[in-house]
Structure 1
Amino acid sequence: MSKLSVKNHDRDVAGYQYIYPVISRRSGGLSIGINFNTNNACNWRCVYCQVPDLTIGAAPELDFDLLETELEDFLRDVLQGSFYERYQLEPEMRVIKDIAISGNGEPTSVKDFTKAIALITRVVGQAKIAEPFQYVLITNGSLLHKQDVQAGLKLFNEFNGQVWFKLDSASDVGRETINHSSVSVKRQLENLISSTKLCFTWVQTCMLNYADKEGVGLVSEGEQTAYLELIEKVRQRASLQGVMLYSLARRSLQPEASVISGVTAEQINHFAERLRKSGLIVSVSL
C-alpha cells in the first residue's frame, strides 16, 4: 500500500474506475477526486499535463450505477473503515477537505453533466461528511457556454460548490502554446464571467518557465500585463473569489517536458504581489 502525498496523484491508487484519493496542495488535506475522463481524453493538451497517453477528445458516457456504487463504497471506507491507516495519512490529514470533480481530462465534456452533479451531491449528502468540506469543479472553462454545463453549475451552486477555472495565459499565443487550445481569449473571458455569475469561482493559474518560447508564460512582463487586464475586465462585470497561483510539482508526461520547468519562489511571489495590489485574494503553491 503506497503512502499518499502531494506528488502521488495516481488515479488508480484505490482500485476504482471513477474515484481516487489525493493529498491536495491547494486544499491542504484529503481530496476525494472524481474522474469522468477515464479514457484519458481532453479537449486541451496542456504542456505540463501529467495524464499518461493523453488524447484529444471528450469524456466517455458515464456508468451512473457504477459511479454511485464506487462513491458510496469509498466514502464508507474513509468515514467508517481503515482507509486512513492503510494509506498512512498523518493525523492532521485525516479529514475530507473536498470532493473534487477533476480527473484525466475536461470534466464538463461529459454527457449529462447536470445529472452527474445531481448524483454526486445526493450520495455525498447521504454519507453525512463532517463539515466543513467543499465541492470543487476543476475545469479549463472552455465549455461553460453550453446549456447543460450551466445547469450543472447552478445546481453545484446550491451546495456552495466552487469552480476552479484554468487561466494560464491571457493571450492567444500563450493559450495555444501552453494549453494547445484554439479557444480565443474573448471566448474564455466570456466563459469566466459566466462561471462567476453561476457559481463561486476561483481562477487557477500554472506559472512555468518555457525554455524554447521566449515571452510565453506568466514569467514575462507582457503576459502578466495582459493577464491583469483580463482579470480586471472580469471584476468589472462579476465577482471573482481570487486567484490560485501554482507551479510544477510533478513531471509532465507531454512531449514538452524537457523544455518546461517550475518557477522560482521569487518569480511566483512577484506576480502574486502584483495581483494583490489590484485588491485580489491570491494563494501561492510551489
Structure 2
Amino acid sequence: MQRVSKRLNTSNHSRDAAGLTYIYPVVSRRAGGVSVGINLNPNNACNWRCIYCQVPELKRGAAPPIDLEKLERELRGFLHELTLGDFMQQQVPPEARTIQDIALSGNGEPTSAKEFEHVIELIGHVKKDFPLPSHLKLVLITNGSLINRPQVQAGLRRMANLNGEVWFKLDSATREGRLRINNSQMSLNRVQANIALAASLCPTWIQTCVFSLNGQPMSDEEVRAYLNFLKDLLQAGVPLKGVLVYGIARASHQPEAKLLSRVDRAWFDQFCGQIRQLGLEVKQSY
C-alpha cells in the first residue's frame, strides 16, 4: 500500500490518499476517529449533483462494475496496516487513533453499484479476520434514492447484522430546495417512503448539510418545511435514530462553490435545538 504523503486530518478526505482504487482513510468529524472509506464510485459518477459536493469532475451516472476480488485485497491490506502496522502512529493525530467505522461513501451514490449486496457480504466476511473494536460500525452514506432496489434492500438487511447504520441525506423538505441543492426531482412522498423503508431494514439517521447560499442560511420557510417533515415521519412511527447535522468544512468542486459559506454558529445551534425539541437525538458537527 502506498504511504499517505501527509498526516490525515478532518479536512483531508482525498479518495486516493492510500493509493488504492476502493479504499481510503479518513479522520471523520462525524465519526470521531478513523473511518475506513469504501469508494464504489471511482468513476466520479452520481445520480445526484449536490452543490456542496467535494468531488472534482463529478458527472451523472452510476457506479462501474465492482472488482470484488480487488476490493477484498485492498480492504484486507488496509485493515492489516491499521490494526497490525504503524499506520495509526505515522499518519493519524493521537486524539483520533481509533477505528470508528467502515463507511460506504466515496465519489458518488454507493447504492448504484449492482454488486451492493455482495459488497456488504464481503465486508462482513473480511472484518471477522481482524482485531477490530467491538463498537465498530458499518455505515452507508446515501441519498436514499435507490432504496427500492432489491439488491439494496438485501444489503441493508445484511448491514443490520453487522452493527450497521444508514445515514440518509435530507438537505431540504421542499421540491424547490432539493432541486436547487441536490439537483434531484425525487418527490417528497418518495423521500418519505424511502426513509421509512430504510429505517425498517437497518438503523437509520437523517443526515443534513447546512450552509449559507449567497450569504443566506436556510430560509424560515425551508426550516418549517424541514421540521414538519420530521414531525410527519415521527407521527407515522418511522423509527429514526436521530439527525446528523453538519456544516461545510471543505471546498465544493461544483460551479456554485463561490456562493457557499458556513452558517453563523448561533443559527446552527438554534437549528439543532429546534430538531431536538421534536424529541430526536441530534449529533452536530459545525
Counterpart secondary structure, 1:127:
coil
Are 2:25 and 1:21 equivalent residues in the alignment?
yes
Question: Which runs of 5 or more residues in structure 1 are unaligned?
Answer: none
TM (norm. structure 2) is: 0.96
**Deviation of 1:257 (Å):** 0.4
Deviation at 1:128, TM superposition (A): 3.1
Q: What is the DSSP-based 3-state SS (H/G/I as helix, E as strand, rest coil) of the residue aligned with 2:24?
A: strand
Note the 1:91-110 alignment, pairs <5 A: 91-110=94-113
Report if the CA contact (8 A) 2:83-2:131 is conserved.
no
| Structure 2: runs of 5 or more not aligned | none
Given residue 146 of structure 2, which amino acid in structure 1 is its aligned partner?
L
Matches within 5 A, 1:44-123: 44-87=48-91, 89-123=92-126
What is the Cα deviation at residue 92 of structure 1? 2.9
Aligned ranges for residues 203-214 of structure 1 at < 5 Å?
Answer: 203-211=206-214
Aligned residues: CA RMSD: 1.2
1:227 alignment partner in structure 2 = 226
Match of 2:169 in 1: 166
Aligned residue in 2 for 1:179: 182
- Which residue number corresponds to residue 37 of structure 1? 41
Q: Report deviation, 1:231.
A: 1.0
Identity of aligned residues (%): 47
Is 2:8–2:93's contact at 8 Å kept on the other side of the alignment? no
TM-score when scaled to structure 1? 0.96
CA distance in 1, matches of 2:42, 2:166: 21
Deviation at 1:48, TM superposition (A): 0.2
The answer as to 2:271 corresponding to 1:268 is no
Q: Distance in 1 between matches of 2:11 and 2:228?
A: 33
Residue type matched to 1:172 in 2?
R
How many pairs are equivalent? Answer: 281
What are the within-5 Å matches in structure 2 for residues 118-267 of structure 1? 118-211=121-214, 219-236=218-235, 237-267=237-267
2:139–2:165 CA contact under 8 A, matched in 1:
yes
Q: Helix, strand or coil for the counterpart of 1:76?
A: helix
Which secondary structure does the structure 2 equivalent of 1:37 belong to?
Answer: coil
Distance 2:93 2:116 in 1: 35
Amino acid in structure 2 at the alignment position of 1:198 = L
Q: How far has the Cα of 1:22 moved from its partner?
A: 0.2
Of residues 3-12 and 219-228 in structure 1, the stretch that sits farther from structure 2 once superposed is: 219-228
User: Does structure 1 conserve the Cα–Cα contact (< 8 Å) formed by 2:136 and 2:163?
Assistant: no
Provide Cα deviations, 1:246-269, integer angstroms capped at 9, x if missing partner. 111011000000111111111111
How many Å apart are 1:276 and its aligned residue?
A: 0.8
Secondary structure of the residue that 2:41 maps to in structure 1? Answer: coil
276-285 or 248-257: which moved more?
Answer: 276-285
What amino acid is aligned across from residue 222 of structure 2 in structure 1? Answer: E
CA contact (8 A) 2:7 2:93 kept: no
* Distance in 1 (alpha carbons) for counterparts of 2:176 and 2:95: 43
